[in-house]
């Protein structure tokens, strides 16, 4: 027998009395069983954030009715809401270039069942990682990018993503700047990963630059992609201490490990609807 479906509601609005009462009261009035509830208040912004999960096993509304029936509460409290269901897994496109560590990590997690998403397509601007896609049985699409065809190729990618009903793009070390059309198509739906040396060590070989400066901490950052390069809302970061005994190769190896885990965790939170974007920040209900 299949497990009952679970609904997740993400909310942000101006903070005021009665918010939790009204939302939980709505669920109770329709015989919903609340499984998890987390909330956060930002007093500086007078903003209220909440994530709520409830079982639909005995819920008296059909899934298709819930959002419309919540609208009176949303209007009363000026709420921005996002409703999702555990049975409707996110469909992920992985964008890659030549580096394989993030790609293999995500594919292995997906294959083992640790990443609750569907991955219908891998898109690349080089052929290098086609064998990895074939090994995991995922269609691989090659879109060579030059300065002359970039806009045209991204439009073709968007067509493919729509055909595959993709709702999230993950840049798994995709070494291209995403254009405005793609960003507009997936607002807060494109995840990126990079080292955390920016803006100190820009350009090629950042770990070599860091080694020359004798850095003592390396890190990785995963964020949503916006029109401002590498300045989108941050989802997750992590750091690791290094020392004078670590070579450049050590820094690169350790940095790759950080990039893998930071990206995987950010995607897991995104896939489970645990991330709320407010202005250029995130509230992550972990």
The residue annotated as part of the active site, out of 118, 167, 230, 238, is 230
For 177, the token pair is: 């700047």
**Bond before 199 cis per omega within 30 degrees:** yes
Measured CA to CA, the distance from residue 138 to residue 92 in angstroms comes to 11
The HSE-up count of residue 235 (CA atoms within 13 Å, CB side) is 28
| Sheet containing 90-96: order of strands | 140-142, 117-124, 90-96, 168-171, 190-195, 217-224, 234-241
Measured CA to CA, the distance from residue 175 to residue 230 in angstroms comes to 12
Measured CA to CA, the distance from residue 103 to residue 21 in angstroms comes to 43
Q: How far is CA 17 from the centre of its chain?
A: 31
How do beta strands 168-171 and 190-195 pair? parallel
Phi, psi at 237, each rounded to 5°: -140, 155
Cβ neighbour number for residue 180 with a 10 Å cutoff: 10
Query: Annotated catalytic, 230?
Result: yes
Check: CB of residue 68 under 8 Å from CB of residue 101.
Answer: no
Phi, psi at 160, each rounded to 5°: -65, -45
| Catalytic residue annotation | 230
């Amino acid at each position: 027998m299949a497990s009952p479906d679970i609904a997740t509601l993400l909310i942000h609005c101006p903070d005021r009395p009665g918010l939790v009462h009204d939302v939980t009261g709505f669920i109770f009035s329709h015989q919903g069983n609340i499984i998890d509830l987390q909330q956060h208040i930002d007093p500086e912004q007078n903003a209220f954030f909440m994530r709520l999960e409830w079982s639909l096993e005995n819920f008296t509304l059909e899934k298709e009715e819930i959002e419309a029936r919540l609208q009176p509460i949303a209007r009363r409290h000026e709420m921005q809401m996002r409703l999702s269901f555990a049975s409707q897994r996110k469909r992920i496109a992985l964008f890659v270039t030549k580096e394989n560590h993030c790609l293999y990590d995500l594919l292995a997690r997906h294959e083992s069942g640790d990443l609750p998403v569907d991955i219908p397509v891998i898109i690349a601007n080089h052929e290098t990682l086609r064998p990895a896609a074939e090994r995991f049985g995922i269609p691989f699409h090659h879109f060579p990018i030059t300065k002359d065809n970039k806009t045209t190729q991204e439009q073709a990618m968007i067509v493919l993503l729509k055909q595959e009903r993709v709702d999230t793009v993950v840049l798994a070390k995709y070494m291209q700047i995403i254009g405005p059309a793609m960003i507009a198509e997936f607002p807060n739906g494109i995840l990126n990963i990079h080292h955390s040396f920016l803006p100190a060590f820009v350009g090629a070989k950042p770990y070599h630059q860091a080694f020359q400066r004798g850095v003592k901490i390396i890190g990785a950052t995963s964020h949503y992609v916006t029109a401002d390069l590498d300045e989108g809302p941050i989802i997750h970061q992590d750091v690791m201490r290094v020392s004078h005994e670590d070579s450049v190769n050590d820094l690169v190896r350790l940095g790759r490990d950080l990039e893998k885990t930071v990206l995987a965790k950010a995607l897991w939170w995104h896939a489970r609807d645990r991330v709320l974007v407010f202005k250029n920040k995130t509230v992550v209900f972990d």
